[in-house]
Every structure is written in structure tokens, then in C-alpha cells.
Amino acid sequence: MRFLRQSLVIAGKDLRAELRGKETINASLSFSVVILLLFSFAFDPSAEETRAICGGLLWLVFAFAGALILNRSFSRDQPNDCLDVLISSPMPPAALFLGKVFANMVLLLTVELICLPIFGLFYNVNWTRQFGMLFLVLLLATWGLTVVGTMFSALTVNMRLRELMLPTLVYPTMIPALLGAIQLTTLLAVGEPITPDDYAWLRLLVGFDVIYTLLGLALVDTVLVG
Amino acid sequence: MREKLIYLIAVGVAILLVANLYNILLVLPDEANQGAIWRIFTFHFPSAMSAGLCSFLALIGSMMYLWRRNLWWDAFAVSATELTLAFGAIVLITGMIWARIIWGIWWAWDARLTSTLVSWLAYAAYLIFRKAIEEPTARARYSAVISILTFPGVIISWKSIEWWRTQHPGPVLTIRGGGGMAPGMQPAAYWNLLALAVFAMILLSIRLRQENSQRLIDGFRRQVHEI
Amino acid sequence: MDSRNFTYMFYGFAAAWAILVIYVITLVSRERKIHQEMSRLQKLIEEGSRK
């Protein structure tokens, strides 16, 4: 329980810092909106085409926006040796990791929930019909993305080429979760219910989340401390 | 002594490969629907098994390094990962050539092909990452973590033909009750499997020795700088 | 053109062998570089310790 409270303290710290500066979330939001617009110009999809591609489109946007958020996750604590202080505090590094995952999750979810209405506007899609299930998919997939991304963010925090190595490492590992999310979102975002055939994708998302959360919590000690 | 043993085994492997090649190309007949192209399977399948074996060895090496903190295990993990990339490339390319004939397309984004390509890219990223860090213990520590995180992708790739309906053929060697490969053609694939797996182990031991030599050299270099 | 699909089978085999051969060649060249570096460093150390 103490572990969870420590994580929430870290998450609160990160979110408060972000709310004061709002740099990451502004960058992430404007980037996502621009990409949504660009896709609309570039492909000008008809209603039929939008139905077919909306899952892929949305999750590509979220993945790119997520990379911006994840980059800042650990590097925000680098000035003034804040990261070293956090690591050497009595709090276990896994709690630090979990706190940052929570914070990134909230930020990415915010970006996603703001992007959905914009997507609905520009592409003429009514995404509210299956919103309950859609929100569940958003939660599961965003957790998967942020767990993997925060882990690799911790790995690359001290590297010169951080902005280049983070996407290179994160995207291949994230692809199973992205795939599941895309398949499910393609149905849900245009308001169609998911069939029992698609439960395999939900199982994939849940399995991915469980495995990578466990792996992350187990390995982050090694990454941060040594 | 060890070198002689490696040479002996290598010669054995070479003989086995040549004998098997003779069998594949000159003795076994064409398949009814595929013509001669089925013979690619005799390299595609063993390479896939070898790549999977090497990625598992990389996982073992990474976990052992994190447990023992002995840089020998880090060298083991790098060597195994390089071999995974080499055999993985063989799998992807032979698969694409087979697909061009049988399906008419070079590539399809089904679960097996996508997950294999993605795992290959993840291991390539592992090697790129190693180039970016100079300090040996930090490099070994971070690489071990990355290797452990990329292994589930290999499991997904392996199980993908069972979990999803894919364009890639289902299991043809383990399938029970018909529909698999003709029994006369199976031994060729299995002999190749033995040969390629042993060859992979030989290459692994050679590469491992090179990595350890490289560490010695770095040590010498530091010594020279001090003198 | 090729009812037995022999040409592509040949390409497949050639690709598999080519990749293996290329990897072995990289191993051999790396071995040579390591030997050269080793002997150079050993020479330097001997000269250094003689002074």
C-alpha cells in the first residue's frame, strides 16, 4: 500500500509540474491535431474509407504524440540532479517508475480524449455510440504504450541520441498492443459493437499489459540503480 | 584443442549440409502443387528454429548477466543476438521468395510475418543501442534489460499461427491427422535443422571468443595508455 | 515460363547461402582485425616496458 502511495506522490509531482508549464501537453496536442488535419488533406477519405482506416489513423496519431510525452518523462528530472535525488531516496525505484507511468498515462489519455472530438468533427464520424467499450480499449492500450515507453525512457535518459533511440526501441516492442488497439478502435470509433471474434484482441491487450507491467517493475531497478 | 574440435564439428556440418543438399535437389521429387519451390522450406524452417534458439540463448545470456554481473554473459548475449539477426534475415527473405510464387505477392501484413519482422527490427535496435554507449558495464546492463523486454515479441511471433488466422501456413510438421508435409520430404528439413543449429552454435562460439578478445584488447589499450 | 518454379527456388537457396556466407566473412574479417590490434598493442607494451 505504501508502494502505491509513493507512486501516486510521484505521479502527482509530475502532473503538477506539467500543469504549471504545460509545455509537453501543448506540444503533444498541437502535434496530434496537425497530423489529423494533414491526414484529412492528404487522403480526403470518404465515409467508407474512414470506416476502414480510423483505427490505424487514430493510433498512429496517439503513438507519435505519446513519443513526445515519453521523451520528457525522465528527462524532465535531469536538471539540478533531480533524478539522482529521486533514485537515492528511500522510495523503491519501481515506485518511481510506476508513478511516472501513471503521470504519462493521464497525459496521454488527456490528449486522446481531446483528439477524439476533433477527429469526429473533421472526419464526420460519430464516435459516441460505443464510447464505453472505446474508453476501455483506450485505457488498456494507453497503459501498454506508457509502460513500455516509460521503461525505455528510463533506459535512454542519459544518452546523447535520446530522441532518436527512444522511438527506435519503443515502436517495435509496442506493435502487438498497437495492433490490438487498431483492430478494436476501427470497429468502435465508428460505432459498431465488437463481436466475440474480436475478444482475441482484447485478450492480447490485457496480456500485453500484464506481462510488460510485471517486466517493467522487475527490471527498472537494474536500469535506474544498477 | 578446442579449435581442433570446432574445425572437426564444422567439417561434419559441411558434409551433412552437402549430403542433404544432394538429397533435396537431386533425389526428392517436386511437390504436386508447388513444383520445385517447396524445397525452400528445408532452409526456411531450420533457419526459423535456429533464430528462435539464438534469441532464447540471448535471453539466457541477458538474465545470467543481470544475475552474475560477469561480462562473459554480455558477450554471449551479443553473439546470440547477432546470430538471431542473421538467421532471421534468412527466414524473412526465403519466406518472401516462396510467397512471391505461391501467393503472388512478396509480403502480407498478417500476424506471423508482421511479428517476425517487428522482432527482427527490435533486435537490430538492440545492436544500434549498444553502439551508442561506450562504458562496458552500463552497456551490458542496459542491453540485458532491452533483450529481456524484446523476447516476448519472439513468443508472439512463434505462437501467432496458432492464435490468429494468418496467411502464413499453419503448423505443417506438427499437425496431427493429415494436411501436413509429405512424410518422405520431412527428414530433409530435419537434417537441415540439425546442421544449421549446430552451425549456429559453432558461429556463436567463434563470435563469443572474438568478443572476449575485444575485451582483452580494450584492457591492453588502457595498459598502453598508462605506460 | 517456369512450371516447376525452379528459378525462384534457386534464388531462395542462393539468398540463404549468401546471408550465411556474408556473416562468416564478417566474422573472419573481424578476427583478422582483432589479431592485428592485439599484436600492435603487445608490441607497444613490450617497447614501453623496455624503456
| Residue of B34, B44, B227 with shortest CB distance to C5 | B34
The answer to whether residue C15 sits within a structural domain is no
ipTM score assigned to the predicted complex: 0.86
What residue of B is the nearest CA neighbor of C42?
A: B220
> Is residue B58 within 8 Å of B93, Cβ to Cβ?
no
pLDDT: is B198 or B110 the higher one?
B198
The answer to whether residue B188 sits within a structural domain is yes
The answer to whether residue C41 sits within a structural domain is yes
Report the C-alpha gap between A218 and B151 in whole angstroms: 15
The answer to whether residue B33 sits within a structural domain is no
pLDDT, one tens digit per residue, over C1-51 is: 466 678 888 888 888 889 999 999 999 999 999 989 888 888 887 887 887
The answer to whether residue B7 sits within a structural domain is yes
pTM above 0.90, yes or no: no
CA distance A41 to chain B (A): 26
Q: How far is CA A214 from the centre of its chain?
A: 17
In the prediction, which pLDDT does A151 show? 94
pLDDT at B74 over 80: yes
> Is residue B45 within 8 Å of C14, Cβ to Cβ?
no
In the prediction, which pLDDT does B177 show? 45
Residues of B in contact with C26 (CB under 8 A): none
The answer to whether residue B85 sits within a structural domain is yes
In the prediction, which pLDDT does A142 show? 96
- From residue B174, alpha-carbon distances to B49, B52, B162, B183, C37 in Å are 14, 17, 12, 12, 49
Report the C-alpha gap between B210 and B205 in whole angstroms: 9
Average pLDDT, chain B: 86
Q: Other C-beta atoms within 10 Å of B219: how many?
A: 11
Report the C-alpha gap between B96 and B91 in whole angstroms: 8
- Ramachandran angles phi, psi of B97, nearest 5°: -65, -40
The answer to whether residue C1 sits within a structural domain is no
Residues in C whose CB is inside 8 Å of some CB of B read 2-6, 8-9, 11-13, 15-16, 19-20, 23-24, 27, 30-31, 34, 37-38, 41-42, 44-45, 48-49
pLDDT at B166 over 70: yes
Which residues sit opposite B31 in a β-bridge? B35
Interface probe with A: pick from B64, B118, B147, most Cβ of A within 10 Å: B118
Closest to B77 measured CA to CA, from B121, B118, B10, B126: B126
Containing structural domain, residue C46: 20-51
Window from A37-41, B70-74, B87-91 with minimum mean pLDDT: A37-41
Report the C-alpha gap between B160 and B157 in whole angstroms: 5
The answer to whether residue C7 sits within a structural domain is no
The answer to whether residue B175 sits within a structural domain is no
Give ∠ CA B8-B9-B15 in degrees, rounded to 5.
95
> Structural domain tally of chain C?
1
- Ramachandran angles phi, psi of B35, nearest 5°: 75, -140
Q: What is the mean pLDDT of residues A61-68?
A: 93
The C-alpha cell of B121 is what? 527490427
The answer to whether residue C3 sits within a structural domain is no
Residues of B in contact with A161 (CB under 8 A): 132
CA distance A169 to chain B (A): 6
The answer to whether residue C10 sits within a structural domain is no
Residues of C in contact with B223 (CB under 8 A): 45
The answer to whether residue C25 sits within a structural domain is yes
- Residue count of chain A, please give it: 226
Interface probe with A: pick from B126, B145, B154, most Cβ of A within 10 Å: B145
In the prediction, which pLDDT does B178 show? 46
Which residues sit opposite B35 in a β-bridge? B31
A178 touches chain B (CB under 8 A): no
Average pLDDT, chain A: 90
Residue B180: which pLDDT band, with cuts at 50, 70 and 90? Answer: low
Containing structural domain, residue B66: 2-27+39-168+182-226
The answer to whether residue C31 sits within a structural domain is yes
In A192-224, which positions are buried (b, 16+ CB within 10 angstroms) versus exposed (e)?
eebeeebeebbebbebbbebbbebbbebbbbbb
The C-alpha cell of A32 is what? 496530434
Do chains A and B touch, with touching meaning 3 or more CB–CB pairs less than 8 Å apart? yes
pLDDT at B169 over 80: no
The answer to whether residue B152 sits within a structural domain is yes
The answer to whether residue B112 sits within a structural domain is yes
> Is residue A129 within 8 Å of A122, Cβ to Cβ?
no
Report the C-alpha gap between A117 and B174 in whole angstroms: 49
Residue B28: which pLDDT band, with cuts at 50, 70 and 90? Answer: confident
Alpha helices in chain B (DSSP H): 2-22, 41-68, 71-102, 111-132, 136-163, 186-226
The answer to whether residue B190 sits within a structural domain is yes
> Structural domain tally of chain B?
1
